[in-house]
Structure 1
Amino acid sequence: MEDIGKVKLYLLRAMYIFIFVGLGLSNTPEAISEMGVSTDSYTVINAMLMGFMLMSLLGAFYPLKMLPILMFELLWKILWLALFALPMYLNAGLDEYAIGVAFACIIGVVLTPIVLPWRYIINTYFN
């Protein structure tokens, strides 16, 4: 697969599977239990996360074609931490929900840049 090493491809696949399993365990049960019960912003978010979860599963099979999924993952987590969690932390402090989300976001912000093939991304998307 292009000029990407085997180790990097395995790391990418592992990241996609990590996202798939994480979302499957944390969001899917809630989303399934709410099917047909209500329609609010939480159901929209749950449906989007289920779609993201399924796209991550595809990434395990097509790691380079699905790189925009991981790039989106990194971007939204950086934005949430910088624009929402940090100001909340500096003002009133984080509540229990925000602490959980911040923890998950920090894991993503640390791991995702490690597994992303930056040279390939730059050559493919920015040249």
Structure 2
Amino acid sequence: MNQVSVFRLYVLRALYLLVFIGLGVQIWPTIIRHATPWEFMHGVELCMLAAFSLLCGLGIRYPLQMLPVLMWELIWKTIWLAIVALPLWLSGNLEEKMLPNVFAISLVVLVYLAIPWPYVYSHYVKKPGDKWSKTQHQA
């Protein structure tokens, strides 16, 4: 099994902490103090980000067990950058008001750097999956 260094665990913890605090400062005050109903997608976005912040809080204690949360963030942000932001930028239609969001989402590069890829490979690619039934059929 691939072991993850203590340094890499602290890098992961720092990333989880950054997300936990960053979203905590931005999202939770809005959730706690909201007085009027939100538009549907705005409410979905805020609630998903709040849940993500709590899961990152858990990642501070369990950095390897919470890796799927970081991989989810990595995947959606990479897809968004590739199929939304990049085509807009290449066509010259990327609006200036979108730039702060593009920059924030581009910070996904930190996730790419923090994730212990050999561990991910050995635990999510090479490792056999869980059983599908109670009995194991032999071929």
- State the TM-score, normalized to the length of structure 2: 0.82
Q: What is residue 76 of structure 1 aligned with on the other side? A: 76
- The Cα of 1:89 is off from its aligned counterpart by 1.9
Mapped partners of 1:106, 1:21: distance in 2: 18
- The Cα of 1:116 is off from its aligned counterpart by 0.5
Q: What is residue 121 of structure 1 aligned with on the other side? A: 120
Amino acid paired to 1:95: E
Deviations 1:5-60 (A, max 9, x none): 11000000000001111111222222333366235110011001100000000000
Q: What is residue 102 of structure 1 aligned with on the other side? A: 102
Mapped partners of 1:62, 1:35: distance in 2: 35
How many residues are aligned here? 124
Among all aligned residue pairs of Structure 1 and Structure 2, give the percentage whose two residues are the same amino acid.
37
Q: What is residue 13 of structure 2 aligned with on the other side? A: 13
Check the 8 A contact 1:34/1:43 in 2, yes or no: no
SS at match of 1:126: helix
Q: What is residue 32 of structure 1 aligned with on the other side? A: 32
Superposition pairs of residues 33-72 of structure 1, within 5 angstroms: 33-34=33-34, 37-72=37-72
- State the TM-score, normalized to the length of structure 1: 0.89
Deviations 1:55-114 (A, max 9, x none): 000000000000001111111111111111112223322331x21111111112x21111
User: Greater Rg, structure 1 or structure 2?
Assistant: 2
Which structure carries more helix by proportion?
1
SS at match of 1:37: coil
Distance 1:35 1:79, change over 3 A: farther
- Unpaired runs of 5+ residues, structure 2, are 127-139
| Alignment RMSD (CA, Å) | 1.6
SS at match of 2:107: helix
Q: What is residue 110 of structure 2 aligned with on the other side? A: 111
Mapped partners of 1:62, 1:84: distance in 2: 33
